[in-house]
Amino acid sequence: MPETATHPLTNSLELLGRSTVKLIEEAGYYSALLAESLFWILVGPFIKRPVRIPSIFSQMMTMGIAACPIVFVLSFSIGVMLAIQMIYNLKTFGAESQVVVGVALSVTREFGPLITGILIAGRTGSSLAAKIGTMQVNQEIDALRVMGINPVRYLVAPSLFAMMIMLPVLTFFSDMAALLGGAVYTSIEIGLSFDAYADRTLSALAVVDVMQGIFKSLIFALIITLVGVSNGFSVTGGAEGVGKATTRSVVLSISYIVIADMIFTYFLNL
């Protein structure tokens, strides 16, 4: 390869250009993966090559049910934290009781989906990348292909399916846990009863508020799965490569989740 001395600015421009190209390439790869997974989920059963149902259920268990305790703990804490902050801030206006509205809205629209997305990216996204990366390194992916078993149908489609169901469910669960956290703290701090808290929460919330969070979680589910599996598939170079891909997939999917969240929050609240 020719070594050419270049101006530092040209260098950084080139770097910027390269990273942009790489990002666009990856976006293309994600869309192709998504399209192929949807093909197998929707068309597979009709051409006698269905997605494995048992695999979907087992993944729903590991990525969904098994994550409930940690989702509960984190979401409950977030609920308490929000209540603390809001009561403190609202006190200056003597409007502590408005805390219920504040917690309800920020939990369902923002913190429920975000905290669940980030948690599952770290938990499930990384394990998807590690699993598929290891299979790639051990030639298991090649073996699937030579047996005529499409790896996207066999590995990606079930994960995507399971994630698209479980992340919204977990998000709803997270909403509940965070609201509970808010209620517990509020009842202790300003002596508002649980019944009153629940009443006010229900009247403060519209269905769209909850749906906005659930909609976000669907997008996050796509991001986590696609980033995780595509990093897994692109592993080269043994166990070290698997480690790198795993880290990369967590960093990337959390970044994409936060950025996507910002964009959606902007457009959904126009």
Partner 1 sequence: MTNNNSAAIEVVDLVTHYGPREILHGINLTINEGEIMIIMGGSGSGKSTLLRYLLGLGVPTSGSINLLGKDITKISNTEMHQLRQNMGVAFQGGALLSSMSIGENVQLPLREHTRLDEKTMEIMARMKLEVVNLGGFEKLMPAELSGGMIKRAAVARAIVMDPKLMFFDEPSAGLDPVVSAELDELILNLRDAMKMTIVVVTHELESAFKIADRITVLDQGNILMTDTVENIKNSDNERIQSLLNRRPSNEEVKADEYLNRLTGM
**Please, what sign has the CA dihedral across residues 122, 57, 172, 185?**
negative
Distance separating alpha carbons of residues 83 and 192, to the nearest angstrom: 12
Instruction: Return the range that interacts with partner 1 (CB under 8 A); candidates 28-36, 136-144, 164-172, 205-213.
Output: 136-144
Residue with smaller CB distance to partner 1, 9 or 147 = 147
In this structure, what token pair is assigned to residue 87? 């009561």
Piece of 22-30, 97-105, 135-143, 206-214 that binds partner 1 (CB under 8 A): 135-143
d(CA 37, CA 21) in angstroms, rounded, equals 24
CB 231 within 8 A of CB 156: no
Tell whether residue 54 is a contact of partner 1 (CB under 8 A): no
Closer Cβ to partner 1, 142 or 199, answer by number: 142
Q: Give yes or no for residue 138 binding partner 1 (CB under 8 A).
A: yes
* CB 18 to partner 1: min, Å: 14
Q: Please tell me the count of residues contacting partner 1 according to CB under 8 A.
A: 14
Question: Is 32 among the residues that bind partner 1 (CB under 8 A)?
Answer: no
Question: Which x/- pattern, by CB under 8 A, does the window 145-164 give for partner 1?
Answer: xxxxx---------------
For partner 1, the closer CB: 142 or 240 = 142
**How open is the CA angle 104-212-77, to the nearest 5 degrees?**
40
User: To which H or E segment does residue 230 belong?
Assistant: helix 207-233
Among 56, 135, 162, 167, binds partner 1 (CB under 8 A): 135
Encoded amino acid at 31, one letter: S
Q: Which of 27, 61, 88, 142 binds partner 1 (CB under 8 A)?
A: 142
CB of 144 to partner 1, least distance (A): 8
Tokens at residue 239, please? 């166990």
DSSP 37-96: HHHHHHTGGGGT----HHHHHHHHHHHTGGGHHHHHHHHHHHHHHHHHHHHHHHHTTT-G
Q: Residue holding tokens 């993966």?
A: 33
Q: Does 9 participate in binding partner 1 (rule CB under 8 A)?
A: no
Provide, rounded to whole angstroms, the least separation between the CB of residue 139 and partner 1.
Answer: 4
Smallest separation, CB 63 to partner 1 (Å): 15
Give the residue, chosen from 26, 36, 140, 189, that forms a contact with partner 1 under the rule CB under 8 A: 140
CB 214 within 8 A of CB 113: yes
The terminus-to-terminus CA distance of the chain in angstroms comes to 51
Q: Counting contacts by CB under 8 A, is residue 91 touching partner 1?
A: no
Rounded to whole angstroms, the Cα distance separating 215 from 208 reads 10
Q: Does 143 bind partner 1 (CB under 8 A)?
A: yes
Residues binding partner 1 (CB under 8 A):
49, 134-135, 138-140, 142-149
